[in-house]
Amino acid sequence: MTRTTDSLMSGGASFGTQRVADILEQELHRTIDEWIALVEKEPDLLHIRLNFDERAGHLPKLLHDVIARLRLHRGAKAKISAAASRHGELRRKQGYTPAMVVDESRILQVCIFSALHRNERRVIFSKLLPDVVTIADEVDAQLKQQVLCFLST
């Protein structure tokens, strides 16, 4: 066994030094680039022709909301994402279907978790799983808000 494996198996708390929120903040642009690359492989999403800003302009705000949620004290009530509300309304105007909005959100989670995987040696391991749960909850809450606003009016 390696020293890292020995440490983890013997109850060592962590092999990284950074919180998930900090890593996601540092990986913001790369995560967006990965997201756009994956979206461009989805034929259903490409039926709607958009430039980079129209397609991905909402992501910095949504990702900042995820990062802010990660920095809240455990159990603190998160605010409803205004960026998610605007995004749902925008996608309706752009001709998306609800299923397309869900696909974008699914791809966002994949990209966030890929960013964490790329940086796994930097992550404070003891914080990783609780933060993954928070990320999934926040992205799903954003998706709910997007769909509610998409379907309104």
Mean pLDDT for all residues in the chain: 91
Per the structure block, which two tokens stand in for 69?
């949620």
Give the contacts of 83 (CB within 8 A, at least 6 positions apart): 58, 61, 62, 64, 65, 142
Answer whether residue 43 shows pLDDT above 70: yes
Q: According to the CATH classification, is domain 16-151 in 2.30.30?
A: no
What predicted TM-score, i.e. pTM, was given to this entire model?
Answer: 0.88
Is pLDDT of 7 > 80?
no
Provide the residue ranges of all domains of the chain, joining segments of one domain with +. Answer: 16-151
Q: Is the pLDDT of residue 4 over 60?
A: no
pLDDT at 13 over 70: no
Q: Give the pLDDT of residue 153.
A: 61
Euclidean distance between CA atoms 88 and 40, whole angstroms: 20
The confidence score (pLDDT) of residue 11 equals 46
Q: What do you get for the CA distance between the two ends of the chain, in Å?
A: 60
Residues 102-128: pLDDT tens digits?
999 999 999 999 999 999 999 999 999
pLDDT-derived band at 143 (thresholds 50, 70, 90) equals very high
| Sign of the torsion formed by the C-alpha atoms of 49, 51, 112 and 139 | negative
> Does residue 109 contact residue 139 with C-beta atoms inside 8 Å?
yes
Reported as a single tens digit per residue, the pLDDT across 53-94 is 999 999 999 999 999 999 998 778 888 999 999 999 999 999
